[in-house]
C-alpha cells in the first residue's frame, strides 16, 4: 500500500472491477485482487475490510458511474426520444465492445448472493442501482411529458420501469451475443413505447 499517500481507492476499485466482470465474484480470489491492486493483504484489509466489502464498493462505484452518465445524457436532452435511444445504444455498444461485462453489477450481485458470502446487502445494493436508473428515466420522461414530448396517456414511471427492465435484458442479450439485428429489432420496439 502506498507509503507516500498516492494510493487512490477509487482508481484501485476501478482496476479491480474488471476482475469481477470477467471472473465473477466466486471466481475472483483475494489473491487475484491483491495482485491487481499491487498491495499486500494487510493493506487490502486496512483499505477495504473484506472481499465482500470490496465487492460492495465496486458495485456502488460501477452503479454510480453508470447512473451519472445516464443522468447527464437525460438532463441535457432537448428531446426525450433521441436521449433515451442514445442511452440504450451506449449500453448496447459497451456490452458489444466487452461482452464479459454484459450482466453488469446485477450479475455480480446475484452471484455474490448465491455464494452466500455477501448476503442480501449486495442484492439490495443492486436493486438500489436499478432504482436510481428508473428514477433518472422517470424524471426525464416526466419533464418530457410536461413539454408535450410524450402523449398525455403515457405514465413516466411505468415507462421508466419498462425501460429499466429492458436495459437489463439488453445486458443479458449482450452477454449471449445474439447479434446486432436482434438487438436493433428489440430497440425499435422499446422506442415505440414512447409513442
- pLDDT tens string 101-134: 544 444 544 454 444 444 556 667 667 777 888 8
- Give 64 or 100, the one with higher predicted confidence: 64
With H, G, I as helix, E, B as strand and everything else as coil, classify residue 103.
Answer: coil
Distance (Å, whole) CA 149 – CA 122: 37
Query: What residue spans define the domains of the chain?
Result: 59-192
- pLDDT tens string 93-104: 766 655 555 444
Q: Write the class of the CATH domain 59-192.
A: mainly alpha
Q: What does the block give as the cell for 158?
A: 411505468
Stretch 184-191: mean pLDDT:
90
Amino acid at each position: 500500500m502506498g507509503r507516500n499517500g498516492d494510493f487512490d481507492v477509487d482508481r484501485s476499485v476501478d482496476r479491480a472491477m474488471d476482475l469481477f466482470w470477467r471472473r465473477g465474484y466466486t471466481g475472483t480470489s483475494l489473491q487475484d485482487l491483491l495482485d491487481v491492486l499491487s498491495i499486500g493483504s494487510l493493506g487490502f484489509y486496512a483499505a477495504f475490510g473484506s472481499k465482500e466489502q470490496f465487492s460492495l464498493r465496486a458495485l456502488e462505484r460501477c452503479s454510480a458511474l453508470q447512473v451519472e452518465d445516464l443522468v447527464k445524457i437525460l438532463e441535457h436532452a432537448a428531446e426525450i426520444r433521441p436521449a433515451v435511444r442514445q442511452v440504450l445504444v451506449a449500453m448496447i455498444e459497451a456490452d458489444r465492445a466487452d461482452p464479459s461485462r454484459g450482466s453488469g453489477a446485477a450479475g455480480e450481485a446475484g452471484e455474490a448472493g448465491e455464494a452466500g458470502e455477501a448476503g442480501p446487502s449486495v442484492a439490495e445494493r443492486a436493486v438500489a442501482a436499478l432504482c436510481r436508473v428508473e428514477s433518472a428515466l422517470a424524471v426525464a420522461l416526466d419533464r418530457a411529458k410536461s413539454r408535450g414530448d410524450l402523449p398525455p396517456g403515457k405514465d413516466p414511471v411505468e415507462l421508466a420501469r419498462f425501460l429499466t427492465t429492458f436495459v437489463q435484458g439488453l445486458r443479458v442479450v449482450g452477454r449471449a451475443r445474439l447479434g446486432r439485428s436482434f438487438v436493433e429489432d428489440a430497440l425499435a420496439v422499446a422506442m415505440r413505447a414512447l409513442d
